[in-house]
Amino acid sequence: MTITIIGTGLIGGSMALALKEKGFADKIIGVDDNIMHQRKALELYLVDEVLSWEDALPLSDLVILAVPVNIAVKLLPLILDLTDKQVLMDVGSTKEELLNVIAYHTNRRRFVGTHPMWGTENSGPASVVRGAFVNRATVICNKEKSDIDAINMVEKVYRALGMRIVYMDAKDHDVHVAYVSHISHIISFALANTVLEKEREEDTIFELASGGFESTVRLAKSDPLMWLHIFIQNRENILDVLNEHISQLRKFKVSLEKGNYVYLQELIENANGIRRILK
């Protein structure tokens, strides 16, 4: 099988590495506008060669679109225009807008919308992680809109990566990731800005930063442009989550202002309930 991966960064590169190690692909073609990424992907043997997507498409059995979500909505229709029997899939963090863009495309059924639930704050092919997807969840959206053989191939890819597959409607997916992923990044960006605004001594931050602080602001090191467009595409869902989060913050604020430490303890104990889910 020949697989083309468009976007050889963290996700695309880590998938390429895993699929090569599993022997799932006979050949992996890399596509990337960034020349440095092209060179690094070849240097690390993540891909066997680098081509344009137009040249790679007719050689491919499977095309994995691993580019930022704003690029995906523009590029996917163009790729589908030239798709014959190839299977296309994406790995983006938002789904509804992308699937709406191609809803009436002639070759819509050759595409499978997916979202592997893994990532780090790093980017680029030099940031790839071996075994990144093992025992993680991946979402396949609107399964009924894709051809059976396309779904089967994508399922085989994710099983080869060692992932658990969850099936979900695209709209529901975007709501859920707003809560479990997108809000985490906003909180991290906001906390980092709060500390940078109030704590002017960088040496002090470095010396006193505890594990809790570091883990919370780790995501603030994520690619700004990539996350800007994720926030834009999932704007309404994220606003709903932010309103709820701000409401929860106010409860903590009021408890401290009024010295209501019984209620403050209740808030903390209620939050401990997350242990039932995340063990």
Per-residue pLDDT of the chain (279 residues), as tens digits, is: 999 999 999 999 999 999 999 999 999 999 999 999 999 999 999 999 999 999 999 999 999 999 999 999 999 999 999 998 999 999 999 999 999 999 999 999 999 999 999 998 889 999 999 999 999 999 999 999 999 999 999 999 999 999 999 999 999 999 999 999 999 999 999 988 888 877 666 666 666 666 667 777 888 899 999 999 999 999 999 999 999 999 999 999 999 999 999 999 999 999 998 888 776
Quick one: tokens of 109?
A: 């059924």
CA distance 133 to 163: 6
pLDDT at position 216 is 76
What are 1-40's pLDDT values in tens digits? 999 999 999 999 999 999 999 999 999 999 999 999 999 9
Distances (CA, A) of 57 to 4, 25, 31, 53, 276: 7, 15, 10, 6, 46
Three-state secondary structure call for residue 44:
coil
Q: How far apart are CA 182 and CA 102, in angstroms?
A: 24
pLDDT of 94 reads 98
Q: What angle, rounded to 10 degrees, do the helices at 235-257 and 183-198 form?
A: 50
Model pLDDT, residue 29? 98
* Alpha carbon distance 249, 264 (integer Å): 11
Could you report the per-residue pLDDT of 174-189, keeping only the tens digit for each?
999 999 999 999 999 9
Q: Which structural domains are found in the chain, ordered by start?
A: 2-168 (3.40.50.720), 243-279 (no CATH)
Rounded CA-CA distance 19/6 in Å is 15
The reported pLDDT for the residue numbered 259 is 96
Contact assessment for residue 78 and residue 119, using Cβ atoms and an 8 Å cutoff: no
Reduce the DSSP state of residue 165 to 3 states and report it: strand
Contact 56, 47 (CB under 8 A): no
Containing 238, the helix (H) or strand (E) segment is helix 235-257
What pLDDT is recorded for position 275? 82
Give the Cα separation of 16 and 76 in Å (integer). Answer: 20
Q: Which residues contact 10 (CB under 8 A, 6 or more apart)?
A: 119, 120, 122, 123, 124, 125, 127, 128, 129
Q: Of 121, 246, 256, 264, which Cα lies nearest the Cα of 192?
A: 121
Q: Tokens for 8, please give them.
A: 């050889």
pLDDT of residue 208: 63
Helices and strands of the chain, counted as H and E runs: 13, 8
Collapsing DSSP to helix, strand or coil, 202 comes out as helix
Listed in order, strand segments (DSSP E) in 177-255 are none
pLDDT in the model for residue 69: 97
User: Would you tell me how many other CB atoms lie within 10 Å of the CB of residue 208?
Assistant: 10
Q: Classify residue 63 by its DSSP letter.
A: E
Name the packing angle between helices 235-257 and 170-177 (round to 10°): 30
